[in-house]
């Protein structure tokens, strides 16, 4: 089932540093990785979600010795990975609906628990992940997600956050940032793009459920992402991981800028990378040198209306203020001279 | 064991005897007592191992059921009314994926206006969703149908809805014969899934299917329901062998052999109809009742055979297609194509309106005399209907309908008369 890994897939900076000792190398750098989301799928060039999903599921597969089942929400990830009669998934995988991946995950976990009890085991050796995009997570699937959290069901839920409904043609979700152009937040009127003061922070809402583990990560930092998946899989109960995955199509960005954008989102402070356990934030990824939000916004056509002669510098200033607030709120600035 | 118990408790105990592995519960009247009863059995350790999940909505209840059934666990849930509608997307998904979930629907009206009492609007709204739908006439049959439902669902890889009248059955204390575990174990083998999420043999379930195969997937669901038409009577016969009583099957006739008039109905009202028919038979009227016990798949041939020799058919149904008339009637008419039978539809008991023998006798005597309208609403209060129509004709801002009618009833209740 496993494909041989070609050299170009493993020899880059983004998929693992070959200069590291073997035990510190990423899962992606290993030819023995599961390649859970096999090549041949229909994702766009430079798709952050496809990359993120392979990173996460491969890491979860390694952490569980391949004893893993996935529930998947409707969305790009589902559509591009399973066009009938083909599938890219190398693990047992179930797609039910757009808004119920978390509940389907709960059901799988419940069934596995009973099966384990019948086999005389304390708990199942088979583990469960549920995954979806931000629309399937922060909007339509939010009720099921919150239910799975409060019951502390033994599921790791992964949200691949590309800040909008990309599969349906780039509409606004509650994860779409202010000022961003989408098909339903047009760059028109006095406040072009998505409005300020709307949207929700699901990682913090997850923290408020006081579940065992919540983390954010980006596709730009593979070591960090894999470590968080591994940590999540070492724990039981409800866990939540939100991975920032740029969307070249929806954001109007170059395919080659996916990793760069994900890194800039963290380095500007717009996407705080942190971990929380049982309701307390336990770690943040520090920013060594804060990057002005301009550098991040300019690479994306969804923010093009903010720049140029008819631009909106005051809006850029508001976005910068959001980044500054995150840096302060999460304590993202590295101490001078610290590593 | 013969015992006197509430319908919901009887169903809970029967479901427990089927050894479900995952149960999802979300409260909605009138099914709450069933999942409460099961919850107590799980919590007390009598039903083990079994996972009982208190979920946050009916949509989640069916979604959890989808996950657990796809992982090879025998899975049960119960709902009613608004709850069934809230889970509809997942209801279709469960049948589309071919997952043998068993669900009780404690039949209740659908709002607005909000109404907790019994009719069949909820189940009927889901008649095309790909689930098998069985209707219980009594608490004994409700209990028995659940045991049959797991066997049927798992053999066919199809979900089954067991429909029982809310309150009329769920909250009624009746004598039932509760089977013992050994009998149920002898009748119902452990669940052997056709498809299962298993890391040892990974499969993708729920792939996107385009025009090239979607029709065929849908047709296979129909083909399977057609096969279930053969299997349902066989399972009823196997049930009779083990438990020694009749339950289930496709249809059941009462005094229809020589009947010139046959009343077709579903659920608990069949009992009332049988007594009404006894009264009319004593008066020399050749009348009988046909109970449809399996509404999906619709037993076209069995209904047609039962109605072939009568002169008129009265479909008495607790459901109503606004803008058309009867729902059950439409299907029954299909079974009557090219047989020369007069057909009447009587919509009755919506929102818990009592269906009394007196009212039944009145409409059935009219039917026998062929003086009944094609579509009749049993005991509809024309005064308040006409009153409101006049109000709407007279002014624009008439306000909310239901509240107006309640006010009218309050004012005119002492003089109100029921009419056929």
Q: Note whether A18 contacts B: Cβ–Cβ < 8 A.
A: no
Distance from CA of A34 to the nearest CA of B (A): 13
Using DSSP's 3-state secondary structure scheme, residue B350 falls into helix
CA torsion sign for B105, B109, B110, B111 is: negative
The answer to whether the Cβ–Cβ distance between A146 and B56 falls below 8 Å is yes
In this complex, which of B24, B48, B197 lies closest to A108 when CB atoms are compared?
B197
pLDDT band at residue A334 under the 50/70/90 scheme: confident
Strand partners, A70: A93, A129
Q: State pLDDT tens for residues A56-115.
A: 999 999 999 999 999 999 999 999 999 878 899 999 999 999 999 999 999 999 999 999
Instruction: Detail the DSSP E strand segments found in B178-241.
Output: 204-205
Task: Name residues whose C-beta falls within 8 Å of residue B11's C-beta, 6 or more positions apart in sequence.
Answer: B34, B37, B104, B139, B142, B143, B146, B162, B164, B170
pLDDT of residue B411: 58
Evaluate whether B256 touches B123 at the Cβ level (below 8 Å). Answer: no
Percent of all residues in chain B with a pLDDT value above 70, rounded to a whole number: 98
Stretch A3-13: mean pLDDT: 47
Evaluate whether B127 touches B165 at the Cβ level (below 8 Å). Answer: no
Q: What is the mean pLDDT of chain A?
A: 93
pLDDT band at residue B199 under the 50/70/90 scheme: very high
Q: Note whether A37 contacts B: Cβ–Cβ < 8 A.
A: no
Evaluate whether B65 touches B57 at the Cβ level (below 8 Å). Answer: no
Show residues of chain A in contact with B197, CB under 8 Å: 69, 92-94, 108
pLDDT at position B166 over 70: yes
* Angle, CA of B195, A92 and A161, to the nearest 5°: 130
Q: How far apart are CA A240 and CA A149, in angstroms?
A: 9
- DSSP string of B1-51? -EEEEEHHHHHHHHHHHT--SEEEE---TTTHHHHHHHHHHHHTTSS-S-E
In this complex, which of A1, A89, A104 lies closest to B63 when CB atoms are compared?
A104
Q: Which residue in the block uniquely carries the two structure tokens 């019951």?
A: A151
Domain extents in chain A: 7-330
pLDDT at position B264 over 90: yes
Strands B287-292 and B251-254: antiparallel
Q: If you measure CA to CA, which chain B residue comes closest to A71?
A: B67
pLDDT of residue A19: 62
pLDDT at position A31 over 90: no
pLDDT band at residue A7 under the 50/70/90 scheme: very low
Q: Note whether A40 contacts B: Cβ–Cβ < 8 A.
A: no
Evaluate whether A321 touches A265 at the Cβ level (below 8 Å). Answer: no
pLDDT of residue B341: 87
In this complex, which of B51, B198, B205 lies closest to A113 when CB atoms are compared?
B51
Q: State pLDDT tens for residues A242-284.
A: 999 999 999 999 999 999 999 999 999 999 999 999 999 999 9
Burial class (CB in 10 A: 0-12, 13-18, 19+), A252: middle
Stretch B181-194: mean pLDDT: 97
pLDDT of residue B394: 97
| B310 CB-side CA count, 13 A | 29
Give the A window 236-295 contacts with B, CB below 8 Å: none
pLDDT at position A4 over 70: no
In this complex, which of A87, A144, A151 lies closest to B204 when CB atoms are compared?
A87
pLDDT of residue A14: 43
Show residues of chain A in contact with B75, CB under 8 Å: 107, 111
In this complex, which of A66, A84, A143 lies closest to B208 when CB atoms are compared?
A84
Give the A window 94-113 contacts with B, CB below 8 Å: 94-97, 99-100, 103-113
Q: State pLDDT tens for residues B374-394.
A: 999 999 999 999 999 999 999
pLDDT of residue A9: 47
Q: If you measure CA to CA, which chain A residue comes closest to B76?
A: A107
Stretch B137-141: mean pLDDT: 98
Stretch A166-182: mean pLDDT: 98
pLDDT at position A15 over 80: no
pLDDT at position A337 over 70: no
Q: State pLDDT tens for residues B32-66.
A: 999 999 999 999 999 999 999 999 999 999 999 99
Stretch B327-336: mean pLDDT: 96
pLDDT of residue A46: 97
The answer to whether the Cβ–Cβ distance between A111 and B67 falls below 8 Å is yes
Q: If you measure CA to CA, which chain B residue comes closest to A152?
A: B53
Question: B55, B60, B70, B100: which to substitute to probe chain A, counting the most A Cβ within 10 Å?
Answer: B60
Stretch B161-170: mean pLDDT: 98
The answer to whether the Cβ–Cβ distance between A110 and B210 falls below 8 Å is no
Stretch B186-200: mean pLDDT: 97
Q: State pLDDT tens for residues B271-283.
A: 999 999 999 999 9
Show residues of chain B in contact with A99, CB under 8 Å: 59, 89
pLDDT at position A17 over 70: no
The answer to whether the Cβ–Cβ distance between A111 and B59 falls below 8 Å is no
Show residues of chain A in contact with B59, CB under 8 Å: 99-100, 103, 143-144
Q: Which domains does chain B have, with CATH numbers?
A: 2-194+206-243 (3.40.50.970), 251-377 (3.40.50.920), 383-415 (no CATH)
Q: How far apart are CA B53 and CA A107, in angstroms?
A: 9
Give the A window 124-153 contacts with B, CB below 8 Å: 126, 143-144, 146-147, 150-151, 153
In this complex, which of B50, B63, B197 lies closest to A114 when CB atoms are compared?
B50
Stretch A148-164: mean pLDDT: 98
Evaluate whether B169 touches B136 at the Cβ level (below 8 Å). Answer: yes
In this complex, which of A67, A107, A146 lies closest to B68 when CB atoms are compared?
A107
CA A263 to chain centre: 13
pLDDT band at residue A205 under the 50/70/90 scheme: very high
Distance from CA of B115 to the nearest CA of A (A): 25
pLDDT at position A18 over 80: no
How far CA A140 is from CA of A134, A145, A200, B353, in Å, comes to 9, 10, 13, 37
Q: Which CATH architecture has domain A7-330?
A: 3-Layer(aba) Sandwich (3.40)
The answer to whether the Cβ–Cβ distance between B197 and A97 falls below 8 Å is no
pLDDT of residue A12: 45
Question: B19, B24, B62, B197: which to substitute to probe chain A, counting the most A Cβ within 10 Å?
Answer: B197
The answer to whether the Cβ–Cβ distance between A107 and B71 falls below 8 Å is yes
Q: State pLDDT tens for residues B391-418.
A: 999 999 999 999 999 998 885 554 545 5
Distance from CA of B66 to the nearest CA of A (A): 6
pLDDT of residue A3: 53
- In this complex, how many residue pairs, one in chain A and one in chain B, have their CB atoms less than 8 Å apart? 166
Q: Note whether A186 contacts B: Cβ–Cβ < 8 A.
A: no
Show residues of chain A in contact with B57, CB under 8 Å: 143-144, 147
Evaluate whether A239 touches A157 at the Cβ level (below 8 Å). Answer: yes
Mark out chain B residues that contact chain A at CB-CB < 8 A. 21-22, 24, 48-51, 53-57, 59-60, 63-73, 75, 89-90, 93, 97, 197-199, 201-210, 212-213
Strands A213-218 and A274-277: antiparallel
pLDDT of residue A24: 80
Show residues of chain A in contact with B193, CB under 8 Å: none
In this complex, which of A89, A115, A153 lies closest to B204 when CB atoms are compared?
A89
pLDDT of residue A29: 84
Q: If you measure CA to CA, which chain B residue comes closest to A117?
A: B49
pLDDT of residue A136: 98
Of B106, B116, B187, residue with least CA distance to B142: B106
């Amino acid at each position: 089932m496993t494909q041989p890994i070609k050299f170009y897939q493993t020899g880059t900076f983004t998929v693992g540093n070959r200069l590291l000792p073997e035990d510190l190398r990423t899962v992606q750098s290993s030819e023995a990785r599961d390649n859970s989301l096999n090549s041949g799928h229909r994702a766009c060039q430079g798709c952050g979600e496809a990359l993120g999903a392979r990173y996460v599921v491969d890491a979860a597969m390694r952490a569980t010795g391949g004893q893993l089942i996935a529930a998947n929400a409707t969305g790009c990830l589902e559509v591009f990975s399973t066009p009938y009669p083909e599938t890219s998934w190398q693990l047992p995988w179930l797609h039910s609906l757009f808004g119920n991946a978390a509940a389907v995950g709960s059901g799988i976990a419940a069934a596995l628990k009973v099966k384990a009890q019948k086999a005389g085991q304390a708990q199942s050796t088979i583990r469960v992940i549920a995954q979806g995009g931000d629309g399937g997570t922060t909007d339509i699937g939010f009720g099921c997600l919150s239910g799975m959290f409060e019951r502390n069901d033994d599921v790791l839920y992964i949200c691949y956050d590309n800040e909008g409904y990309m599969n349906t043609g780039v509409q606004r979700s509650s994860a779409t940032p202010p000022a961003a152009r989408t098909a339903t937040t047009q760059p028109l009127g006095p406040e072009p793009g998505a409005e300020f003061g709307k949207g929700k922070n699901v990682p913090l809402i997850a923290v408020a459920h006081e579940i065992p583990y919540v983390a954010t990560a980006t596709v730009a930092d593979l070591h960090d992402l894999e470590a968080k998946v591994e940590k999540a899989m070492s724990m039981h109960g409800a866990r939540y991981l939100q991975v920032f995955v740029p969307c070249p199509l929806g954001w109007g960005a170059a395919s080659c800028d996916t990793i760069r954008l994900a890194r800039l989102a963290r380095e500007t402070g717009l996407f705080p990378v942190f971990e929380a356990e049982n309701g307390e934030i336990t770690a943040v990824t520090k920013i060594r040198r804060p990057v002005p939000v301009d550098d991040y916004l300019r690479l994306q056509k969804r923010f093009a209306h903010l720049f140029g002669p008819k631009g909106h510098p005051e809006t850029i200033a508001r976005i910068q203020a959001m980044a500054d607030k995150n840096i302060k709120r999460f304590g993202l600035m590295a101490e001078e001279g610290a590593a | 064991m013969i015992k006197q118990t509430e319908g919901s408790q009887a169903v809970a105990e029967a479901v427990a005897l089927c050894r479900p592995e995952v149960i999802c519960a979300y409260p909605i009247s009138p099914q709450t007592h069933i999942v409460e009863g099961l919850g107590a059995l799980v919590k007390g350790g009598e039903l083990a191992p079994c996972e009982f999940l208190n979920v946050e909505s009916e949509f989640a209840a069916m979604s959890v059921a989808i996950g657990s059934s796809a992982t090879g666990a025998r899975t049960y849930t119960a709902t009613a009314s608004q709850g069934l509608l809230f889970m509809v997307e997942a209801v279709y998904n469960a049948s589309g994926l071919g997952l043998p979930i068993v669900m009780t629907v404690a039949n209740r009206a659908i709002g607005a206006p909000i109404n907790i009492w019994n009719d069949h609007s909820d189940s009927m709204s889901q008649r095309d969703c790909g689930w098998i739908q069985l209707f219980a006439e009594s608490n004994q049959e409700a209990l028995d149908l659940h045991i049959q439902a797991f066997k049927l669902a798992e053999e066919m890889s199809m979900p089954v809805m067991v429909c029982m009248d809310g309150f009329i059955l769920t909250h009624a204390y009746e004598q039932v014969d509760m089977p013992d575990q050994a009998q149920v174990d002898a009748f119902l083998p452990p669940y052997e899934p056709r498809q299962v999420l298993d890391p040892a043999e990974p499969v993708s379930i729920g792939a996107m299917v385009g025009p090239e195969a979607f029709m065929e997937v849908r047709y296979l669901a129909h083909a399977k329901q057609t096969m279930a038409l053969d299997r349902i009577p066989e399972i009823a016969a196997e049930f009779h062998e083990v438990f020694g009583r009749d339950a289930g099957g496709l249809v059941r006739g009462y005094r229809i052999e020589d009947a010139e008039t046959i009343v077709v109905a579903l659920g608990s009202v069949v009992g009332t109809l049988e007594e009404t028919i006894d009264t009319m038979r004593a008066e020399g009227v050749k009348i009988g009742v046909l109970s449809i016990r399996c509404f999906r798949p619709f037993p076209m041939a069995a209904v047609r055979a039962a109605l072939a020799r009568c002169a008129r058919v009265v479909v008495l149904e607790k459901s109503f297609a606004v803008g058309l008339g009867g729902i059950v009637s439409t299907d029954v008419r299909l079974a009557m194509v090219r047989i020369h039978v007069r057909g009447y539809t009587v919509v009755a008991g919506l929102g818990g309106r009592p269906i009394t023998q007196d009212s039944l006798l009145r409409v059935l005597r009219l039917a026998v005399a062929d003086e009944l309208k094609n579509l009749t609403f049993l005991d509809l209060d024309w005064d308040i209907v006409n009153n409101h129509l006049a109000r709407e004709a007279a002014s624009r801002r008439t306000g909310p309908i239901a509240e107006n009618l309640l006010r009218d009833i309050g004012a005119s209740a002492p003089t109100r008369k029921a009419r056929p």
